[in-house]
């Protein structure tokens, strides 16, 4: 496989990633949301594998394995278990309606591309053109955290944001050092568990996972 083909493939997967980010933004059902998140992880793993293979950066294979294990299998499974236990399979409510969110999202993507243009000119990596997409997916996930009302989609938004960051790291500099990646992966896992524990506590306290109830905690 020549450089140009792998570069094309990575671009394709990047586009897929962005598409998934938009899909998550517009998705109303939690179960589908988790599935989309897993797909995002898979796309990330495949694109990292392609980068690793075509550039010969062997340490990236570890990242691939880690991503597959954590983001495609373990965390979606944990989230599934969590919503089973919490009985929260209902539709997701949003603060702003979905078409408006999508419009804001398009604005963010344009912003991210404008921002990334000068940076990707400096980088000479195989994947430099995808930096804009990576940033766009970070911002989109952040947007998702803001517009969702329930705690579980917010956490998925947070995890998706980490995906975007990871993709930005591979596209700009062929990934972070392995130690950092291991640390981040562990943090994400631990974070998920902690969120899970918090969900139970929040529900116990407010009988709901709707974060509107937490406004009561404000100090007057």
Partner 1 sequence: MISLEVISSPLTGSLLAVVSWLAISALALIPAGNAFLARRLAFPLSALAGLALAAFGLQAIWLAPQQMTLPLGLPDLPFHLRVDPLAGFFLMLLGSVSAGISVYAGGYFRNETSERLILIGLQYHVFLASMAFVILADDAYLFMVAWETMALSSYFLVTTDHKLPAIRSAGFLYLLIAHLGAIAILLCFGVMHGGHGDYSFDALRAAELTPLWANVAFLLAFFGFGAKAGMIPLHAWLPEAHPAAPSPVSALMSGIMLKTAIYGMVRVIYDLIGNVRWEWGMVVLAVGAGTTLFGVLYALMQHDLKRLLAYHSVENIGIILLGLGMSMVFIGFGHPAAGTLGMIAALYHTLNHAVFKGLLFLGAGSILHSTGLRNLNDMGGLIRVMPKTAFYFLIGALAISALPPLNGFVSEWLTFQAALQAPILQNGVVRSLLPLFAATLALAGALTAMCFVKVYGIAFLGQPRSPHHPVSAPGAGHDAGGMERYGMAWLAAGCFVLGLFPSSFLLMLNRVCASLTGQSLTADALTGSSWLWLVPTSSEQASYSPVIFLVVIVAVTLLTFLLVRRFYHGRVRLSDPWDCGFPEQTSRMQDTADAFGQPIRHVFGPIYLMQRQMPAPDDPAPRFSLKIEDRHWYWVYLPVARLAEYASSKIALLQQGRISIYLLYSFLTLIALLVFVR
Tell me the closest approach of the beta carbon of residue 131 to partner 1, in angstroms: 13
Q: In terms of CB distance, is 62 or 206 closer to partner 1?
A: 206
In the complex, the residues that contact partner 1 under the rule CB under 8 A are 95, 111, 115, 118, 139, 142-143, 145-147, 149, 154, 211-212, 214-219
Compare residues 12 and 145 and give the one whose CB is closer to partner 1: 145
Residue with smaller CB distance to partner 1, 184 or 211: 211
Contact criterion met (CB below 8 Å) for 94 and 154: no
CB of 76 to partner 1, least distance (A): 23
Question: Which is closer to partner 1, CB of 64 or CB of 143?
Answer: 143
Pair 133, 15: CB distance under 8 Å: yes
Residues 22-60 as b/e (b if ≥16 CB within 10 A, e otherwise) read: bebbebeebeebbbbbbbbbbbbbbbbbbbbebeeeeeb
Place of tokens 């597959």: 68
User: Quick one: DSSP state of residue 94?
Assistant: B
Min. distance of Cβ 211 from partner 1 in angstroms? Answer: 5
């Amino acid at each position: 496989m020549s450089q140009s083909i792998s570069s094309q493939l990575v671009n394709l997967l990047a586009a897929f990633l962005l598409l998934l980010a938009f899909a998550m933004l517009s998705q109303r059902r939690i179960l589908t949301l988790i599935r989309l998140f897993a797909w995002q992880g898979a796309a990330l793993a495949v694109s990292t594998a392609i980068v690793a293979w075509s550039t010969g950066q062997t340490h990236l294979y570890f990242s691939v394995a880690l991503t597959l294990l954590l983001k495609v299998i373990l965390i979606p499974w944990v989230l599934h278990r969590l919503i089973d236990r919490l009985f929260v399979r209902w539709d997701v409510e949003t603060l702003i309606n979905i078409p408006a969110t999508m419009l804001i999202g398009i604005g963010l993507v344009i912003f991210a591309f404008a921002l990334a243009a000068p940076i990707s000119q400096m980088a000479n990596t195989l994947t430099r053109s995808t930096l804009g997409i990576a940033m766009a997916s970070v911002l989109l996930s952040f947007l998702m955290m803001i517009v969702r009302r329930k705690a579980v989609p917010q956490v998925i938004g947070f995890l998706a944001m980490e995906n975007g960051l990871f993709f930005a790291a591979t596209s700009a500099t062929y990934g972070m050092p392995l130690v950092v990646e291991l640390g981040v992966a562990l943090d994400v896992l631990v974070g998920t568990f902690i969120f899970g524990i918090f969900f139970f506590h929040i529900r116990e306290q407010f009988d709901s996972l709707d974060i509107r109830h937490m406004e009561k905690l404000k100090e007057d």
